[in-house]
A and B are shown apart, each in its own frame.
Chain A
Amino acid sequence: DGGITQSPKYLFRKEGQNVTLSCEQNLNHDAMYWYRQDPGQGLRLIYYSQIVNDFQKGDIAEGYSVSREKKESFPLTVTSAQKNPTAFYLCASSHGDETQYFGPGTRLLVL
């Protein structure tokens, strides 16, 4: 059963804490993406990776970091430098036909 999984579904962060959001895909896609969604706004690109061991900053990369050590995994770390982390985070992947497929999302809340 192919798809994209994100975990956890809900995540709570304390002030000054780093937290990591997981994104895994078994679609054999080369490219993976992280988006942030805020109420009343569209999705904004945080980071993307077109190939293993390579990634690029998107429009709002400050306060975030990523790694791409395996083709199927693209974890996102929300660092303490991100002062307004409360949002819905969506991971996506694509291969060849330019269509991005999305995971179910992780909602990050600040305690």
Chain B
Amino acid sequence: AQSVTQLDSQVPVFEEAPVELRCNYSSSVSVYLFWYVQYPNQGLQLLLKYLSGSTLVKGINGFEAEFNKSQTSFHLRKPSVHISDTAEYFCAVSEPTGANNLFFGTGTRLTVIP
């Protein structure tokens, strides 16, 4: 069975500092990996995804993530955060075959401090 672990429930960081949000998954097969962002009382917006190919994936709003198969990780990074990046971030995994169901982590609340 698949599972996703987001080790940090809350991450405070000062404006213009770098940030890394951690995500680890467990799966016995190859996977697709996603990062979504959720602003208060809104739906989820796709930040980036890894399906195949280059392990370094660039997304919107200056975010990027690196797929590391040996460590089963897909950490999200941004070199310099803005106040507007304050939100909840979810890592998710799905299998390439089957029903395309997503399995989500419990989320990381990123708070950017002025």
Assess whether B25 is interfacial by the CB under 8 Å rule. no
Interface of chain A, helix or strand or loop or mixed? strand
Give the shortest distance, in Å, between A60 (CB) and chain B (any CB): 13
In the complex, the chain A residue whose C-beta lies closest to that of B109 is A40
Of the candidates A4, A6, A107, the one whose C-beta lies within 8 Å of that of B41 is: A107
Do A58 and B101 form a contact, CB below 8 Å, given A40-B9, A43-B90, A104-B43?
yes
List the 6 closest pairs (A to B, CB-CB), nearest first.
Answer: A42-B104, A102-B43, A102-B44, A43-B104, A104-B43, A42-B106
Q: Count of B residues near A, CB < 8 Å?
A: 25
Q: Is the CB of A50 within 8 A of B99?
A: yes
Assess whether A41 is interfacial by the CB under 8 Å rule. yes
Contact with A along B38-53 (1 / 0, CB 8 A): 0001111110010100
A104, B46: Cα distance in complex, Å: 13
Q: A42-B106, A105-B41, A105-B43 are in contact. List 5 more A-B contacts (CB 8 A).
A: A40-B9, A56-B99, A98-B94, A98-B96, A98-B100
Give the shortest distance, in Å, between B94 (CB) and chain A (any CB): 6
Of the candidates B43, B45, B46, B106, the one whose C-beta lies within 8 Å of that of A41 is: B106
Q: Is the CB of B41 within 8 A of A100?
A: no
Assess whether B102 is interfacial by the CB under 8 Å rule. yes
Assess whether A53 is interfacial by the CB under 8 Å rule. no
Contact with A along B86-114 (1 / 0, CB 8 A): 00001010101001111011110000000
